[in-house]
Structure 1
Amino acid sequence: MEKHTGTEDESNPNARTIEVLKQMMDYYDRTNEHWKTIAYRKAIAALKKRTRKITTKEEALAIPFIGSRLAGKIEEIVFTNRLRRLENTNFDSADIALQLFLKIYGVGHSQASLWINQGHRTLNDLLTKATLTTNQKIGIEHIDDFATRIPRDEVEHHGRIVRNAIHKEDPAIEITIGGSCRRGAPDSGDVDFIITKPDASMETLRTIILDTVIPSLFQHHYLRHALASSTARSDGSKWHGCATLPGSKIWHRIDFLLVPHAEMGAALIYFTGNDIFNRSIRLLASRKGMRLNQRGLWTDVLRGGKRERMTQGALLESRDERKIFGLLGVPWRPPEHRVC
């Protein structure tokens, strides 16, 4: 419910403590320790709201969502400027390898853990000893490229190239760059193009983008490699790949996300993020007996004993972002405020 102004992290008196806790949270996220990750995330969110520096265990314990063990770690960080538990992870060869392997495109915790259990510890181990898919080989070859943040002016350059190619085929098609760029960030990890057209079928949109625009961008050496493509649903499609700007050798991740015009409001929320904001607003919808996804906001959703969805429910809104916020009782947050 609270907006993000972009200045909290810089001015927070607990910035150093938050920085170390984030590193510890990332470790637990990598090692798939779900509940510890959530505990650290809640503690970080609580510390961000403090207007004075928290220095003792007792002060930390008085803050909601911070328990005894985390409070002790906060005190340790404040008085020593370090956290021994975090430093111990730096000597764990398996965790070092896990951090490395998770940077490879398309590699999740399961695949990375499998390689580690097989005794692999380096990229060279994978290239010489492991059985790899084409995408995994591409991910290893361009691991540094994909980890390179894309400055905002370069994101806009990608946008001009793609818009020109699409509007050459059909000027009525609408293109929005989503993700961190839409949230106003100075750089992005990849470029997400959300593409729609009023009064057009998805089949028409797929024909223009997948059958005409993408092959043309390959011919002009902008697109370099296709990583994944999905057209399973009749009402949407995705294409994932890599591109380079003119004069550059750095490969960047590019996604084309085709969306029915009637679902653009829900799609913009979903593909803008950030991920914590998305999880939070979807959880709020669920607690109100509704369901929010990239297709729309639904009501009268029946769920079973383990929260399994039993019915689709009735569509409340899908086209308008503001209306979806209003129906959920959430104050309107422009994209730059959706940072949690």
Structure 2
Amino acid sequence: MGICRLDSLPHRRIDVKVYAPQHYACALLYFTGSDHFNRSMRCFAKAKGFTLCDRGLRPTVRRGKATDSRGKYVDNKVAVGRPVEFEREEDVFAFLELPYKTPPERALDDNAAGIAAAAARVRAENNVDVDDDDDAGAEVFVGQRPQLSLWSGAK
């Protein structure tokens, strides 16, 4: 981590991260999306039975609740397979059966809304309990954006 400042502009934090080649596609996806888009992607991957982070996508199941009796997050994820390796960001989208979005398109709330709506459909099809969601907040977009036609083909 570092801090920089260009003439008359505010100070900015710089994060320098180094990833192994097999993590590059997921790392690039993670760091080039808006926070809403990233949460929606993770929520969609979760609905499909995977965990998505900057280090990859892997099949995962959840055991028990995502929070303890005090409401504190509990990591209830159990990996059930090897991580899926990708060479390009486009491959991550294709694997999840989502249309590819370029980094500038990821800043659009409608695209995050589309992924969140697709995740809700997958959860409904698979009877996934939304109350145990550790990606809470991704559903914020469901129902708030009327135009979701870009995502009508998402499975």
TM over 0.5: yes
Q: Is the 8 A contact 1:317 1:323 kept in 2?
A: no
For residues 297 and 249 of structure 1, the distance between their equivalents in structure 2, rounded to whole angstroms, comes to: 37
Where do 5+ consecutive residues of structure 1 fail to align?
A: 1-239
How far is the alpha carbon of 1:249 from its aligned partner?
8.0
Q: Distance in 2 between matches of 1:279 and 1:267?
A: 14
After TM superposition, list the pairs within 5 Å mapping 1:274-285 onto structure 2.
274-285=34-45
1:332 to 88, 100, 105: 100
Match of 2:52 in 1: 292
Q: Counterpart of 1:266?
A: 26
Paired residue for 2:91, among 323, 334, 337?
323
Q: Which protein is bigger by CA-based radius of gyration?
A: 1
Pairing partner for 1:303 from 62, 69, 81:
62
Q: Helix, strand or coil for the counterpart of 1:291?
A: strand
Aligned residues: 99
| Aligned-partner residue type, residue 268 of structure 1 | L
2:3 aligned to 230, 233, 242, which one? 242
Distance of 2:79 and 2:11 partners within structure 1: 43
- SS state of the match for residue 329, structure 1? coil
SS at match of 2:94: helix
Cα distance in 1, alignment partners of residues 80 and 31 from structure 2: 22
SS of residue matched to 1:298 = strand
**Structure 1: how far apart are the matches of 2:77 and 2:37?**
22
Question: In 2, Cα distance between the equivalents of 1:268 and 1:334?
Answer: 11
In the TM superposition, residue 281 of structure 1 has moved relative to its aligned partner by 0.8
Instruction: For residue 314 of structure 1, report the CA deviation from its aligned partner.
Output: 1.8
Q: 1:319 to 1:263 in 2, by over 3 A?
A: farther
Q: Please, which of 73, 76, 82 is the counterpart of residue 314 of structure 1?
A: 82
Contact 1:302/1:313 (CA < 8 Å) preserved in 2?
no
Matching residue's letter, 1:334: T
* 2:14 equivalent in structure 1: 254
Instruction: Tell me the distance in 2 between the aligned counterparts of 1:335 and 1:286.
Output: 21
> How far is 1:305 from its partner?
2.0
Question: Once the two structures are superposed, what CA deviation does each residue of 1:59-107 show, in whole Å capped at 9, x if it has no partner?
Answer: xxxxxxxxxxxxxxxxxxxxxxxxxxxxxxxxxxxxxxxxxxxxxxxxx
Distance 1:328 1:250 in 2: 38
Q: Do 1:297 and 1:318's aligned partners in 2 also have CA atoms closer than 8 Å?
A: no
Distance in 1, Cα, partners of 2:10 & 2:48: 45
SS in 2 for 1:273: coil
Distance 2:54 2:80 in 1: 14
Deviation at 1:313, TM superposition (A): 2.8
Deviation at 1:273, TM superposition (A): 1.6
**Higher helix fraction (1 or 2):** 1
| Cα shift at 1:302 | 2.1
Q: Which has the higher contact order (CA 8 A, sep 6+)?
A: 2
1:223-278 per-residue CA deviation (whole Å, 9 max, x = no partner) reads xxxxxxxxxxxxxxxxx121234x65853322212222221100011011200100
In the TM superposition, what are the counterparts of 1:2-151 in structure 2 within 5 Å?
Answer: none
TM-score by length of 2: 0.57
Query: Compared with structure 1, are the counterparts of its residues 243 and 304 closer, same or farther at alpha carbon in structure 2 (3 Å cutoff)?
Result: same
TM-score when scaled to structure 1?
0.27
Distance change >3 Å, CA 252–CA 290, structure 1 → 2: closer
The structural deviation recorded for 1:279 is 0.5
Q: 2:79 & 2:57 partners in 1: Cα distance?
A: 14
293 and 243 in structure 1: CA distance in 2 versus 1, 3 angstrom threshold: same
2:24/2:87 contact within 8 Å kept: yes
Q: Is the 8 A contact 2:61 2:79 kept in 1?
A: yes
Whether the 8 Å CA contact 2:58–2:79 is kept in 1: the answer is no
